[in-house]
Structures are given as structure tokens and as C-alpha cells.
Amino acid sequence: MISGNFNFKKCFAVVLSLFMLAFVSELIFTPASQAQPSPKSSVRTVKRGATFHQKKFFDARHSHNRAYPARGHYYRSLPRDHRVIHYGSRRYYSTSHGVWYRPYRGLYEVIAPPIGIFVPFLPLFYTTVRVQGTPYYYANGTYYTQTPGGYVVVHPPQGEVMENPPVTDDEDEEFMDDQLFVYPSKGQTEKQRDLDRYECHQWALEQTDYDPTQISSDRSADEVQGRAEYRRAIAACLESRGYTVK
């Protein structure tokens, strides 16, 4: 009988000790483990937030005199006026003011656009310059030249630059004749139009061996013929994909 009482008390003491140990462990370790992610979360927020400075770049080249978001900085969202521009397998974003972005780990980085990328329209505010008679359109550190169907980003021109030169009647007529107007006749989306335009440019380049991004002041018959053949090729490609080209 005594032995039975002794065993019962011993077992009760062991169980009570285990219960108390578990209770104390919960009080000691659970708050520490719950508090641990908090410093990491705050550190991450501060680190990412440090990249969101509203730093501006003032572009005074060619008397352009306009301010733009500085390249290399990140934003959580894109401006409302952005357009999606596809270049190869990559996606870029361009605004009506000529600011370019690329997606980066859930954010959007301000960048310089890749050479050769097409845009259907020039930035709203651009400066026209001429080098050896060839017109360039400048905005936000980027040079554009006209090509059938739109405009293309090119390397900075080499040579003496004439800022805001007058345009003669002959040059203006030649400029207008070279424009290519593309209308989606099958309800193609903006994303599809940009993709088709790029792929047709690649196809026309392969077919004619003429690259409109390689600007030349040469007005020889070969240059004129190459440009005309490229224009016909890209127009034929776009028409085959359901666009009306004028």
C-alpha cells in the first residue's frame, strides 16, 4: 500500500514537472521566434525604400533643357502613360515623355533604351538636330531616327551637330513620303502590334540586307534603293499579319 502511494506521487510529480517545463519553454522561446522576422522585415523595407529617391536628371544637351527621372533608380509602379515595347524576348516600358523602364525583381528600373528598339511615336518633347544632313530626334539622353513604321533608337551621331536646323521644302517632302502608317485591321492589341512590328523589322532586315538603324549620310542610288526595298518588305510582312499599311 505504501509502495502504491509512493509510485502515484512520483508519477504525479514527473507529469507536473513536464507540464511546467513545457509551459515555461512556451513563454521563453515563442516570443523570441515571433519577434525574429520583425527586424528582417524592417531591414528589408528600409533597404528597398532607400532606392526610391525622386532624383532628377536635367538634360541640357542640345539646349533640350528638361528634367527626367535619373537612370538606375527604382519605382514600385509605372507612370500611367507608359507603353509596353517588346524587343526580342525582353519587355520594356516607355512613357510619352521618353523615360524608359525595365522590370526588375518586382520593381521598375529607369534605364537607357537598348540600341535598335522601335517605338511608334517620338517623345512629346524632343529636340531635332542634324549631323551631315541626317535628322536625329533627341530626348532624355537618347537619339531617335525615323524608320518605316516609326522610330528607332540609335547610337549618338558622330560629327558636327546642327541644333534646331531649318527644314527645307524638299527635305520636308522627303521626310513625309518616308512615313509608314500601320492600322490594325483585325483588332490586334498594343502588345501584339509591337511584337509584330519588331518581328517584321527583323524579317525585312534579313530579306533586304538593309538596316535602317545604321544611319548614313550617303544619298547614293544604292542607299535610296535599299531603304525603299526595306520599306516594301516590312509593309508586306505587316499586311500578311492583318494590318493595313499606307
**What's the CA gap between 96 and 134, in Å, rounded?**
24
Per-residue pLDDT tens listing for the chain (246 residues)? 445 455 666 667 776 777 777 766 665 555 444 444 444 433 333 334 434 556 888 999 988 888 999 999 999 999 988 999 999 889 999 998 899 999 999 999 999 999 999 988 888 888 889 998 889 999 999 999 988 878 999 999 987 777 655 444 444 444 334 567 788 888 888 778 877 887 888 888 888 888 776 656 556 667 777 777 788 888 888 888 888 887
Query: In the prediction, which pLDDT does 38 show?
Result: 44
- By residue count, the chain amounts to 246
> Closest Cα partner for 171 from 134, 207, 214, 122?
134
**What's the CA gap between 161 and 97, in Å, rounded?**
23
Query: In the prediction, which pLDDT does 229 show?
Result: 79
User: To the nearest 5 percent, what fractions of the chain are helix, strand and coil?
Assistant: 40, 25, 35
Query: In the prediction, which pLDDT does 102 show?
Result: 96
Query: Helix 2-35 crosses helix 37-49 at what angle (to 10 degrees)?
Result: 0
Beta strands in 14-82 (DSSP E): 56-59, 66-69, 74-75
